[in-house]
């Protein structure tokens, strides 16, 4: 019999079981939904398939499984070790683990690890992992799990390990039925742990648990983990989502795909597992006191913390993009009390099925940035604003890089203006000290600011500033002095200050270098009309950025010229001295700095000497700058694996000197 036929028969059996069980319930509790003749025909068909495939599920009406109530569940010694796996958050660690060996990447299910034993095709025992040496006998409750076959077409002894889980769909239904918020379950893992250990098997059956097989310990061919799990599937087991892996360059794609499959199948998970496909090789590596060496676990996220989502705050940015921010009950994230985390865009909120009042899990990405991992309740109870929270203007959902984002359609929105001014006055742009976001917001509300140009006319309000609460004469004079000082700048900073979409600091520098930091040459091409400017093919500027500049020029050319009158443009020192000692070299910066005040300063030095700075290490990286050369950080590990040199600040300074 072909593989497809067996799969079809198993699915048909499951459908018949559900139909017959539903019909039986309806017959005894309400109006019958199936005639006796049809019930008998389907029952006979089910019996025929069970006999033909030699597979029987415990919820089959042919079994009439009774329920039991025990005084206690017994602790028993496991017939094989069930240790944990070593963990990593580094994709590079996965690549090093795999080497040139055939591996499998599978979902790391988040439930209660359980081992099943079959003898002559009959299920004879079920035990939880416990401490890895001894576990709890849960056979009476395992018999209530619908997707575990009670009988299989395999005569030899079969021992199979897997995860007993409760799917997100079932978890949410159970929680919805619990009115008291304090009694709701926090996570499917907590619910399944209690469910599998219930003394009353009838109550356990109502929890709708599932068993996901992830490793065959004894039985089948026992050469390939992957093939054995496929054989398990043919015997009626639900197997773990898995993807073969060897020398794979798209590791992240594999990890993301596995995660998506788990989500689609309502499987709670807390990572992925990479394991050697060859049993003999994997088991020859042995174990430590805690871990098997045949597999390694990959953790998708940092430690998760639960809290309650109070509301979603929508903030209008300088580009008109209205960014959603989760505001939740205060929570201690790795030592920092946190109440807010970005939600990125509408698609991100929808993917999380997020809702106001939901219990959510939050983590600090790379121990720095707070992020929402998921919603436990998945209520989808959120509203997309129809009006801009700043100006009250119309909003519109648009597609941007395959994601839905919310935009304010009002060109005169003060939210856009505040964002643009905050950007323009920042240290890396025009560097105006004293114009905080709160100060800018106040000046906008007073009608003193309506553009970047108006900043350079704030001196007209000097007398009124002196009388403002919190603005003394000394601070006002210092602010106006900083504004005047910023009037001498470079072309790249000026371009960066314009807030042209997709034109950041590096792109602004590329454009300025192309025109030799000369504003007149830049503006001549900038104002010549749509399309003309980018016939010059500025290095480092792609098609999307080119289009954004062209669109910006059509509506802003005159304003840009008027703004330029407020500035005196200087040529940077690197242009005067043609310092290109780092030409063609790409650096990555990580860790704390001692010689330079911050990363921006070091980045500026690298770029002014012809080099480039990237956020991640690759084979094209010239050097990773890290004062802790022996650090075990992911960037250090990756640099070492790729043969990229790691240098400290002192060595970098010597490099600048040509030493």
The CATH-assigned architecture of domain 414-486 is: Orthogonal Bundle (1.10)
pLDDT-derived band of residue 63, with 50, 70 and 90 as boundaries? confident
For residue range 106-127, what is the model confidence (pLDDT) as tens digits? 999 989 999 999 999 999 999 9
List the chain domain ranges: 3-53, 75-298, 305-407, 414-486, 491-574, 579-656
Q: Which fold has domain 579-656?
A: Rossmann fold (3.40.50)
Q: Say what the pLDDT of residue 179 is.
A: 76
For residue range 507-550, what is the model confidence (pLDDT) as tens digits? 888 888 888 898 988 888 777 654 445 555 666 676 667 777 87
**Is the pLDDT confidence value at 576 over 60?**
no
Q: Please, which residues have CB within 8 angstroms of residue 419's CB and are 6 or more apart in sequence? A: 316, 317, 318, 319, 499
The CATH-assigned architecture of domain 75-298 is: 2-Layer Sandwich (3.30)
Written out in words, the top-level CATH class of the domain with range 3-53 is mainly alpha
Distance between CA 160 and CA 563 in Å, rounded?
72
Quickly list H helices, 326-451. Answer: 346-352, 414-425, 437-445
DSSP state of 67: P
CATH number of this structure's domain 305-407: 2.40.50.140
| Cα end-to-end span (Å), the chain | 73
Distance between CA 553 and CA 522 in Å, rounded?
12
Q: Say what the pLDDT of residue 565 is.
A: 92
The CATH-assigned architecture of domain 491-574 is: Orthogonal Bundle (1.10)
**Is the pLDDT confidence value at 556 over 90?**
no
pLDDT-derived band of residue 575, with 50, 70 and 90 as boundaries? very low
Instruction: Tell me the two tokens of residue 19.
Output: 């139909």
Lowest average pLDDT, out of 106-115, 372-381, 644-653, goes to 644-653
Distance between CA 58 and CA 248 in Å, rounded?
41
Q: Which of the residues 87, 95, 108, 399 is marked catalytic?
A: 108
Instruction: Let me know if 150 is a catalytic residue.
Output: no
Q: Please, which residues have CB within 8 angstroms of residue 583's CB and are 6 or more apart in sequence? A: 609, 610, 611
For residue range 581-637, what is the model confidence (pLDDT) as tens digits? 788 789 999 887 777 767 877 887 888 777 888 888 888 889 999 887 777 778 888
Mean pLDDT for the stretch of residues 398-424: 82
Domains 414-486 and 491-574 share a fold: yes
């Amino acid at each position: 019999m072909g593989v497809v036929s067996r799969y079809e028969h198993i699915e048909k059996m499951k459908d018949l079981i559900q139909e017959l069980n539903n019909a039986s319930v309806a017959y005894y509790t309400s109006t019958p939904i199936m005639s006796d003749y049809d019930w008998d025909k389907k029952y006979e068909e089910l019996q025929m398939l069970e006999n033909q495939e030699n597979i029987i599920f415990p919820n089959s009406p042919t079994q009439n499984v009774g329920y039991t109530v025990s005084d206690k569940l017994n602790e028993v010694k496991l017939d094989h070790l069930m240790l944990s796996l070593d963990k990593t958050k580094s994709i590079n660690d996965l690549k090093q683990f795999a080497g040139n060996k055939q591996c499998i990447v599978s979902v790391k299910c988040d439930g209660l690890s359980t081992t099943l034993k079959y003898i002559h095709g009959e299920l004879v025992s079920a035990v939880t992992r416990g401490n890895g040496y001894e576990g709890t006998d849960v056979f009476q409750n395992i018999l209530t799990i619908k997707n575990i076959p009670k009988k299989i077409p395999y005569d030899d002894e079969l021992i199979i390990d897997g995860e007993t889980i409760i799917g997100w769909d079932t978890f949410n239904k159970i929680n919805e039925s619990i009115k008291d918020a304090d009694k709701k379950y926090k996570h499917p893992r907590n619910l399944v742990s209690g469910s599998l250990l219930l003394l009353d098997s009838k109550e356990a059956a109502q929890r709708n648990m599932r068993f996901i097989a992830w490793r065959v310990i004894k039985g089948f061919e026992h050469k390939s983990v992957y093939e054995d799990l496929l054989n398990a599937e043919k015997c009626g087991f639900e197997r773990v989502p898995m993807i073969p892996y060897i020398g794979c360059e798209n590791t992240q794609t594999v990890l993301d795909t596995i995660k998506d499959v788990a989500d689609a199948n309502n499987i709670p998970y807390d990572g992925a597992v990479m394991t050697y496909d060859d049993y003999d090789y994997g088991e020859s590596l042995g174990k430590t006191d805690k871990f098997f060496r045949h597999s390694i676990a990959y953790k998708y996220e940092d430690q998760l913390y639960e809290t309650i989502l109070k509301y979603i705050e929508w903030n209008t940015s300088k580009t008109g993009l209205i960014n959603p921010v989760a505001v939740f009950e205060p929570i201690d994230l790795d030592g920092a009390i946190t109440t807010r985390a970005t939600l990125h865009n509408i698609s991100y909120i929808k993917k999380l099925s997020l809702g106001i009042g939901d219990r959510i899990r939050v983590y600090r990405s790379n121990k720095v940035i707070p992020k929402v991992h998921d919603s436990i309740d998945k209520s989808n109870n959120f509203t997309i604003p129809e009006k801009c929270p700043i100006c009250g203007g119309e909003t519109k959902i648009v597609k941007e890089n395959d994601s839905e984002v919310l935009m304010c359609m009002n060109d005169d929105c003060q939210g856009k203006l505040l964002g643009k001014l905050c950007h323009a006055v920042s240290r890396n742009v025009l560097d105006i000290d004293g114009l905080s976001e709160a100060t800018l917001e106040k000046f906008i509300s007073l009608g003193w600011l309506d553009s970047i140009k108006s900043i350079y006319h704030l001196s007209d309000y000097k007398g009124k500033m002196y009388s403002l609460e919190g603005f003394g004469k000394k601070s006002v004079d210092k602010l106006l002095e900083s504004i005047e000082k910023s009037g001498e700048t470079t072309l790249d900073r000026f371009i960066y200050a314009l807030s042209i979409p997709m034109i950041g600091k590096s792109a602004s520098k590329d454009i300025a270098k192309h025109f030799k930091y000369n504003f007149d040459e830049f503006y001549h091409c900038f104002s010549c009309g749509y399309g003309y400017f980018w016939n010059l093919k500025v290095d480092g500027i792609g098609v999307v950025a080119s289009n954004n500049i062209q669109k910006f020029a059509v509506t802003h050319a005159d304003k840009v010229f008027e703004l330029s009158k407020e500035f005196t443009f200087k040529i940077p020192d690197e242009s005067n001295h043609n310092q290109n000692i780092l030409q063609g070299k790409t650096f990555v910066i990580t860790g704390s700095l001692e010689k330079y005040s911050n990363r921006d300063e070091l980045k500026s030095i690298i770029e002014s000497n012809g080099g480039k700075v990237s956020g991640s290490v690759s084979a094209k990286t010239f050097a990773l700058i890290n004062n802790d050369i022996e650090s075990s950080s992911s960037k250090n590990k990756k640099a070492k694996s790729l043969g990229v040199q790691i240098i400290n600040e002192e060595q970098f300074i010597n490099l600048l000197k040509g030493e």
